[in-house]
Amino acid sequence: MILFGKSDPSDLLRQADLLCSGNKYKAAVGLYSRILKDDPQNRMVLQRKGLALNRIRRYSDAITCFDLLLELDDGDAPAYNNKAIAQAELGDTASALENYGRAIEASPRYAPAYFNRAVLLDRLGEHEDALPDLDKATRLDRDKANPRFYKGIVLGKMGRHAEALSCFKEVCRADHGHADSQFHVAIEVAELGKHAEALGELAALPAEYRENANVLYARARSLAGLDRYDESIAHLQKAARKDSKTIKKWARAEKAFDHIRDDPRFKKIAG
């Protein structure tokens, strides 16, 4: 619809949102900017433009949008949260942590800020400090699997494999189609030395995941743990054909392969 020679803002907004739903964020940013030219304090559009800018990695421009939102309302928790995401991606982790804290202060029940702060703390190696935020995010948004799943990831990094396994099993009970958690159940079972059980878990993954390089590698590791070395090498070879750099790195560090390190087939994979 054309009004007085200009596009109807509501029509532009619908078009921009549709572009975002199709991952065409750059084009959407242009439409959001057209709306803001005539309505620069439109908070909804500023937020959506900032989110789209984050998706195309124009983080400094995204921060500008979120700063404008915060000028309009210094209690806007999502604006603090999304600004922090951009700052973290730019490497300004101190400011990001500060703004996650501001988001939580502005809205103590705003779960995304707890989750995103936990992810950043984990990236910084502060695994223990990430856990309370993940617990808080889980309590605040029980329908979301991400906080519980990510807690399992963090616990696995800390070597707390039984607790990590419990997290992943809990996600699987709540969402039977959560393939990433199914995979990590297998990983944690293997870390606990139960390789036959791990192979069973990997075999139960949906068919489209079974030829994934990570899954093939996990099978190779558990096959080696059961002294099934020829099968292990065959799976390593398949995994390496899909992602040689990563598989080479993992294979070199994995103790389960100690008995086959002198095998020429293994050396060809691990170098």
What digits encode the pLDDT tens for the residues 215-224? 999 999 999 9
Q: Please compute the mean of the pLDDT values over residues 190-205 and round it to a whole number.
A: 96
Asked if the structure places residue 119 within a domain, the reply is no
Per-residue confidence (pLDDT) for residue 8, from 0 to 100: 80
Look up the CATH number of the domain holding residue 193.
Answer: 1.25.40.10
User: Residue 262: enclosing H or E segment and its boundaries?
Assistant: none
Phi then psi for residue 2, to 5 deg, are: -110, 125
**Integer Cα distance of 109 and 113 in angstroms:** 9
Asked if the structure places residue 180 within a domain, the reply is yes
**43-80 per-position pLDDT tens digit:** 999 999 999 999 999 999 999 999 999 999 999 999 99
Residues 221 and 245 in one domain: yes
Q: Of 187, 210, 233, which one is at a domain's C-terminal end? A: 210
Percent of the chain at pLDDT > 70 equals 97
- The vertex-231 CA angle with 228 and 237, nearest 5°, equals 135
Asked if the structure places residue 140 within a domain, the reply is no
Residues 177 and 217 in one domain: no
Residues 224 and 195 in one domain: no
Percent of the chain at pLDDT > 90 equals 92
Say yes or no to pLDDT of 271 above 90: no
Asked if the structure places residue 82 within a domain, the reply is no
Asked if the structure places residue 129 within a domain, the reply is no
Per-residue confidence (pLDDT) for residue 5, from 0 to 100: 42
Band of residue 6 on the pLDDT scale cut at 50, 70, 90: low
Per-residue confidence (pLDDT) for residue 219, from 0 to 100: 97
Residue 220 domain boundaries? 211-271
Give how far Cα 40 sits from Cα of 32, 64, 69, Å: 10, 13, 10
Total-model pTM: 0.89
Asked if the structure places residue 171 within a domain, the reply is yes
**Integer Cα distance of 63 and 99 in angstroms:** 12
Residues 199 and 221 in one domain: no
Q: Of 189, 210, 231, which one is at a domain's C-terminal end? A: 210
Q: Of 210, 235, 259, which one is at a domain's C-terminal end? A: 210
Amino acid identity of 204?
A
Asked if the structure places residue 133 within a domain, the reply is no
Residues 223 and 266 in one domain: yes
**Based on the structure, what is the number of domains in the chain?**
2
Per-residue confidence (pLDDT) for residue 177, from 0 to 100: 84
**Integer Cα distance of 64 and 169 in angstroms:** 41
Residues 206 and 216 in one domain: no
Asked if the structure places residue 34 within a domain, the reply is no
Residues 152 and 200 in one domain: yes
End-to-end CA distance of the chain: 64
Q: Please compute the mean of the pLDDT values over residues 236-245 and round it to a whole number.
A: 96
